[in-house]
Structure 1
Amino acid sequence: MELFVGDDWASDHHDVEIQDQTGRRLGKARLPEGVEGIARLHGLLARFLPEDADPSQVLIGIETDRGPWPAALVAAGYRVFAVNPRQSARARDRLGVSGAKSDAGDAHVLADLVRTDAHQLLEVAGDSDLADGVQGLTRAHQALIWDKTRHVLRLRATLRDYFPAALEAFPELTEPEALELLSKAPDPDRAARLSRKQISAALKRARRRDIEGKAAAIQAALRAPALGRGPVLTTASAAITRSLITVIHALAGEISTLENEVKASFGQHPDTEIYLSQPGLGQILGARVLAEFGDDTTRYTSAKARKNYAGTSPLTIASGRKTTVRARHVHNDRLLDALTRQAQSALRASPGARAYYDTLRARGVGHHAALRQLANRLVGLLHGCLKTHTPYNETTAWAHHNTIAA
């Protein structure tokens, strides 16, 4: 006997509905988040399951795969399916046309969806605790990088508004000498008074070459005639600039700290050697790819399944006499970003990858499309290496394609 559960979650509670194989509602409840709620769910399910029933006979649909609650469901042995909100919205439209929506109604939709379409849904993987840890670290590390980029863009916009000469002097605002000197002299008047010696000292600390030439160019840019703003706005903007630089410095330090944590955690995983053997993957990119794919060996039944999840495989739309092939728009953004970066690096690290890319370009395929196809090929190679527990081999990986190209 199988039971089908819809779990509509909120930050502090879960609305659940239990159905049997015919779609008949057996029970429903609102459960609190946490240990008490999980215990009550186990008790509710026990009322409808035989004592010797396997927990895998319980199929649960929920619109998330992250957090302690889904992890507890997987740990209990239930089969948990992460339902995309778009899928549940379409199912809601299919079951009713009034447009009414409620938490209990959403739980009913999820239970019905997992009962009829479980074979079409993505089952939450039973990744190892180590893989989950790597994912947490890599996502936090990447989030800090994104935060730093946003603050640098805010700094650039602020300087453009009241001190455009600074952008002429420091085209790259993330360089240490730029942040040091702007922190010391955040407005046009103080910047114009910076001596050649002060600028040279900052360049030396940043380990730059041609210090005299660079110092002269920076000083000239800061002292060049320029349009200015009022003194009150300039003072306020200078304070904002210093504040942004302080935040950027802090973020840079935390990014470095988390980078070391990512490398240490990734280095403990048994598949690290296989990931690092792949062309274009270093410790950080390799950790991101591992984190987003996970390490559940049963999750991807084939290379095609892994490629589809990655979003690198093409999507074919055929209707009548018209067939269109396009990129997949629904994908894991973090994973696709890492795989695209891998493909870019592989062009330099792998002769086979370079030849494959060049062949596509010679056929008239655009740069981004060729890069996506290369990423798709690299995902297939990674899948084969993980399946056979063997490191990447350049000759074996590209022998077939090189033969065709020849």
Structure 2
Amino acid sequence: MTPEKSSNYVAFIGLDWADRSHQICLRVAEAGNDELSVLVQDSTAIHAWANALRVRFPHGRIALALEQSRGALIYALSSHEHLDLYPINPAMVARYRSAAKTSGSKHDPLDASLICELVRLHCDWLRVLRPMAAPVRELQLLVEARRRCVNQRLALGNQLTALLKSYYPQALELVGTDLGAPLVAAFLARWPTPDALRRARRTTLRNFYYAHGVRSSACIEERLTIAQQIVPLTDDAAVLAVQPMLVHVVLEQLKVLHHAVAQQDKRIRSVFNAHDDAALFSCLPGAGEQLAPRLFVAFGQDRTRFPSVRQLQQYSGIAPVREQSGQSCWTHWRWHCPKFLRQSFHEFAGCSIPQSRWAKAYYQQQRERGKSHHQALRALAFKWQRIIFRCWQSGELYDESRYIDALRKKGSALVSRIDALGTRAA
């Protein structure tokens, strides 16, 4: 740590957190001894401990490091303004411990002491946690929760597919590809087995599909033919008694998740559209209602959060890592990063390809150079981050034609590809 930064703090704390209690190591500035203690995971105890620190050190700030960037402990400690919180990647602590204790020794007081030493001696390696504004944090929690619900819905859809294949495979052709749609639950509730479907009349099935939004005559006729010619996969009474019950359980869970995602989408739109920067991210090609709020959360409201675009690219995991030793050099993607954040930029890059001529041209160029699909998307996301960062800093909306004109002035090799795409589109 630099002397200037060290002098900003009157004490340093390393906290090794756990589910029920936390190991504390405190070192007073200019003192030579560590003070070890245990803090119980209880809201009253946590706030009492933080207030006691304020009483003990009334005229200075305290640096507190812990292996956590969110959660109950962070939420509690963030409300105390005299504490500067430094989240530490657990991998950093593990490697620091390996360097300090080659024997492999590990216990909670040791980890707390090493975390305290990291923040005391190497604070310049760390970034202090700067909580975003409440609306931004709400949006962050919402978009992450929505993604988890969508992942659960996908997993349940796969489970439903496996169940139907075991006794009623024709149902997968009769309900379409979206297994989370209301049509699926209604169809399987009305005709839970092949025998029940075989007794249904064509008029009844046609009216059912029409009532659930299926308007294609060809699609309806194809499904009616499948239903009319259905041959049961099995006549095992045990399978036909149990599998429909399990299907019902999965469908009820899908119904809950479908409603939850709809409610989350409504709240996300409300919070996102209320922000001044909503237009800046909504105008990005391919962002749409889902990715625009996620990109906004990735950048945040504080323009000083990332002093340069390079820091954003490294933090988000889009920038690759280069390892060099002697004559060997190896470039690989970044393993330690916020995965949801990287996923947001990765997915946006993919969605921008059909909507942006230069993005499509750049993606094709990368593929022709031998890059895999995901390598090409990360390279495209790397370029998008530079563009969006500039718009974010200046407050200007993205302009596709203006960016393509800039490429022309620079004599970029992408221009001929962009013109070719424009000619084919015309």
The TM-score, its normalising length taken from structure 1, stands at: 0.90
Displacement of 1:171: 4.8
Would you say the 8 A contact 1:276–1:282 is kept in 2? Answer: yes
Amino acid at match of 1:79: D
Contact 1:162/1:237 (<8 A) preserved? yes
- Residue 292 of structure 1 and its aligned partner are, at CA, apart by 4.0
1:321 equivalent to 2:311? Answer: no
Letter in 1 for 2:18: A
Looking at structure 2, the residues matched to 26 and 327 of structure 1 have their Cα atoms a distance apart, in angstroms, of 39
Q: How far apart, in 2, do the equivalents of 1:192 and 1:243 lie? A: 23
**Secondary structure, counterpart of 1:123 in structure 2:** coil
Say whether residues 1:158 and 2:167 are aligned partners.
no
In structure 2, the residue matched to 1:65 is 69
Residues 171 and 400 of structure 1: CA distance in aligned 2, closer, same or farther (over 3 Å): same
Which structure has more relative contact order (CA 8 Å, sep 6+)? It is 1
Indicate the residue corresponding to 1:345 in structure 2. 351
Alpha-carbon deviation of 1:27? 2.2
Task: Report 1:11-90 matches (<5 A).
Answer: 11-20=19-28, 24-32=32-40, 33-44=42-53, 46-47=55-56, 49=57, 51-53=58-60, 55=61, 58-75=62-79, 76-90=81-95
More deviation, 267-276/150-159: 267-276
**C-alpha deviation, 1:398, in angstroms:** 4.3
C-alpha displacement of 1:133: 0.7
Counterparts in 2 of 1:167-246, with a 5 A limit? 167-172=172-177, 173-211=179-217, 213-222=218-227, 223-246=229-252
Unaligned 5+ runs, structure 2? 1-6, 416-426
**Cα-to-partner distance string for 1:68-103 (whole Å, 9 max, x where unaligned):** 532443441432121111111112222223434333
Looking at structure 2, the residues matched to 317 and 26 of structure 1 have their Cα atoms a distance apart, in angstroms, of 36
Cα distance in structure 1, aligned partners of 2:76 and 2:254: 38
Give the structure 1 partner of residue 295 of structure 2. Answer: 289
1:93 paired to 2:98: yes
Matched, 1:355 2:361: yes
Change in Cα spacing, 1:398 to 1:329, as seen in structure 2 (3 Å) is: farther
Per-residue deviation, 1:175:
4.2
Deviation at 1:300, TM superposition (A): 1.2
Instruction: Check whether the contact 2:149–2:257 (CA below 8 A) recurs between aligned residues.
Output: yes
Tell me if structure 2 keeps the 8 A contact 1:314–1:326: yes
Pairwise CA distance, 1:304: 0.4
Query: Unpaired runs of 5+ in structure 1?
Result: none
Structure 1 residue 110 and structure 2 residue 144: aligned?
no
Specify the SS of the correspondent of 1:28: strand
Residue 302 of structure 1: how far off its partner (Å) = 0.6
Change (3 A) 1:341 1:265: same
Residue 129 of structure 1 aligns with which residue? 134
1:250/1:72 CA distance change after superposition, 3 Å: closer
Structure 1 position 4, deviation (Å): 1.8
Q: 1:384-395 alignment to 2 at 5 Å?
A: 384-395=390-401
Q: Counterparts of 2:180 and 2:78 in 1: how far apart (Å)?
A: 43
Q: Aligned to 2:385, which of 379, 383, 392? A: 379
Amino acid at match of 2:37: A
Does the CA-based 8 Å contact 1:166-1:221 persist in structure 2?
A: no
Alignment deviations for residues 186-231 of structure 1 (CA, whole Å, 9 cap, x no partner): 22211222222232122212322333x3333223334433431511
